[in-house]
Chain A
Amino acid sequence: MMLSNIFLKTLWDFKKAAIYWLVGIFLLALYIMFVLSSIELDAFQTIFDSFPKALVQFIGGESGIDLSSISGFLNAQIFTIMAPIMVIAVAVNSGGKSTASEETIKSLDIILSAPISRESFIIQKIFSMTIKTLFIAIVHWLSYFILGIAFAQTIPNEGLVAICFNLFLMGISFGMISIFIGTLSGNASQAVGIGGALALISYLIANIAPLVDSLNNTKYFSLFYYYKGSDPLKTGFHTWHWAPFLAITLIFFILSIYQFRKRNLL
């Protein structure tokens, strides 16, 4: 029964959006795969090889752009900008609204007048944010996995799983930060806005830092570096890159519960 608890009810709220995301991501993947299987990728690579290195790094990240293969194109385009935007949008939106939105629209009072502790409420909301983010990451993996086979293109499955898993971990990290901001302020738009802005700053740091030698080390402060810095689509899993995501998720999980427990709900 989808309305039997807060976790399931939050997923029930997501059901329409989930279908739109599923169709949207799949259609985008279909379009990309159709175009890529119809054109000569080497020609693209020749053009990009003539670009200044800094510009190529800014667009494609530290590892630059490899457009000589479909997986290179996916790495440079889909998994550098579009997929992270989608995953972070869902995670930050879900996280920022999880407690703060209920507080803003005043529905939280009634929910918490039932025998449900604040801890249970926020943990259920965190789990639902995690599941939504995982869903978007899995849809990405499935779309490119299925369409790779359908278009007889070589996309290394281990790499695809690895980058989608990193995508999921990065998503829940930003989602948890948004949840924490929501517990601080009780203001949903602030929580979503700050979470999104942090993601944007993180993206810019990861892409700009390698261009300037003196800033190069600042990339380690960006979650985008741990997401794609090891080039997981090509090289597969790098478990040590999971550590910052897990640490941030855990820290903000604890802080969110602590903050939500101790705050006066106005």
Chain B
Amino acid sequence: MPEVITVSKLTKKYGNFKAVSNISFNVEKGEIFGLIGPNGAGKSTTMRSMLNFIFPTNGKISVGGFDSVKDYLKIRSIIGYLPGEFTTYDNMTGLQYLTHMMHLRNKPEKVGYAKSLAKKFDLDLNKKAKQLSKGNKQKIGIIQAFCHDPEILILDEPTSGLDPLKQQEFDELILKFKEKGKTIFISSHVLPEVEMLCDKVAIIKNGKIVAENTMAQLKSMAMNRFEIIFKNEVSERKFGKSIGVKNISKSGEKFIFDVEGDVNKFIKKISENKVISFRSMEPDLEEIFLSFYKKNKGKK
């Protein structure tokens, strides 16, 4: 698959502070790529650099084959964008705002699709923004990003403020766009959502990418958890760092092992004992995220 977004050795400095430091990643066509990290990790800086709101100190970004600094207008004509803090104009109704935005995008004919999306999201477009809740304003933001049918979507915390039902509608919309072959770059701290939607994830910490891979590979790289009940009495001391065990806890008869890396040595060691029950628990994205964060604790 061709690469649609390429971030190459991107660094953004403000004085001595590095908001992002030498980060690189690629997003392929038709992929949903998630960038996750806590506030201040560099997610928004990366996204805003893609749109030329912020100029890179070093490195290059290409979106849709266009350079983010030289050809930023071409990039803007093929993307849909939702910023982290979306605000509309208080004196405008949703419909007026979307009409204005579609004119600015030279696609006034897309207002009809915006109306149908509003119906889907249960949003009254005739109300002025000042009469709308945060969640309803966010719906306007989502609609304006999607309704002109862009090739690439760049979404910063898109479901912030949405109720669970509307989050589901949003997830469906995203997957529908993916089916059409669109590329979606999403930043979020709603990890279950990222886990469900994204093909690939990058974890960013203190402006650096600490892990980047497909969900499946990230899971294999992260800590594995096993719940085991032994027939006989077993000493915890038998299971040490040499077989990758990072942590052992006991709850009644049940042992819980956190194992890092290759699990073969660990399983070999376990098989030396009689086992009544053996359960492997796949780590969710939250655990993967925490595992990478703990691993890189202190690294700046």
Identify the A interface with B (CB < 8 A). Answer: 1, 3-6, 9, 13, 105-107, 109-117, 264-266
Q: Are A6 and B83 in contact (CB under 8 A)?
A: no
Which residues of chain A are near B141, meaning CB under 8 Å? 110
Q: Is B249 an interface residue (CB 8 A)?
A: no
Which residues of chain A are near B74, meaning CB under 8 Å? 115
Q: Are B103 and A115 in contact (CB under 8 A)?
A: no
Which residues of chain B are near A9, meaning CB under 8 Å? 100
When chains A and B are docked, how far (Å) is the Cα of A113 from the Cα of B141?
A: 12
Chain A: minimal CB distance from B200 (Å): 23
User: Given contacts A107-B88, A115-B105, could you give 14 more A-B pairs where the C-beta distance is less than 8 Å?
Assistant: A3-B103, A105-B87, A109-B51, A110-B86, A110-B144, A112-B51, A112-B53, A113-B80, A114-B104, A115-B76, A115-B104, A115-B106, A116-B76, A265-B54
Which residues of chain A are near B108, meaning CB under 8 Å? 4
When chains A and B are docked, how far (Å) is the Cα of A9 from the Cα of B101?
A: 11
Q: Are A113 and B55 in contact (CB under 8 A)?
A: no
When chains A and B are docked, how far (Å) is the Cα of A13 from the Cα of B100?
A: 12
Q: Which of chain B's residues has its CB closest to A4's CB?
A: B103
Which residue of A1, A4, A114, A115 has the most chain B CB atoms within 10 A of its CB atom?
A114
**Residue in B51, B88, B103 whose CB lies within 8 Å of A113:** B51
Given the known inter-chain contacts A9-B100, A114-B105, please indicate yes or no for A107 contacting B54, CB distance below 8 A: no
Chain B: minimal CB distance from A100 (Å): 15
Which residues of chain B are near A3, meaning CB under 8 Å? 96, 99-100, 103
Chain A: minimal CB distance from B52 (Å): 8
Identify the B interface with A (CB < 8 A). Answer: 48, 51, 53-55, 73-74, 76-77, 79-81, 83, 85-89, 91, 96, 99-101, 103-106, 108, 141, 144
Given the known inter-chain contacts A9-B100, A114-B101, A114-B105, please indicate yes or no for A106 contacting B77, CB distance below 8 A: no
Given the known inter-chain contacts A264-B53, A264-B54, A265-B54, please indicate yes or no for A110 contacting B103, CB distance below 8 A: no
When chains A and B are docked, how far (Å) is the Cα of A59 from the Cα of B228?
A: 93
Q: Which of chain A's residues has its CB closest to B79's CB?
A: A113
Q: Are B55 and A264 in contact (CB under 8 A)?
A: yes
Q: Are A113 and B77 in contact (CB under 8 A)?
A: no
Which residues of chain A are near B81, meaning CB under 8 Å? 109-110, 113
When chains A and B are docked, how far (Å) is the Cα of A4 from the Cα of B144?
A: 15
Q: Which of chain B's residues has its CB closest to A121's CB?
A: B104
Given the known inter-chain contacts A4-B103, A6-B104, A106-B85, please indicate yes or no for A115 contacting B54, CB distance below 8 A: no
Q: Which of chain A's residues has its CB closest to B14's CB?
A: A264
**Residue in B87, B104, B106, B144 whose CB lies within 8 Å of A106:** B87
When chains A and B are docked, how far (Å) is the Cα of A6 from the Cα of B53?
A: 18
When chains A and B are docked, how far (Å) is the Cα of A44 from the Cα of B75?
A: 68
Which residue of A13, A109, A112, A117 has the most chain B CB atoms within 10 A of its CB atom?
A109
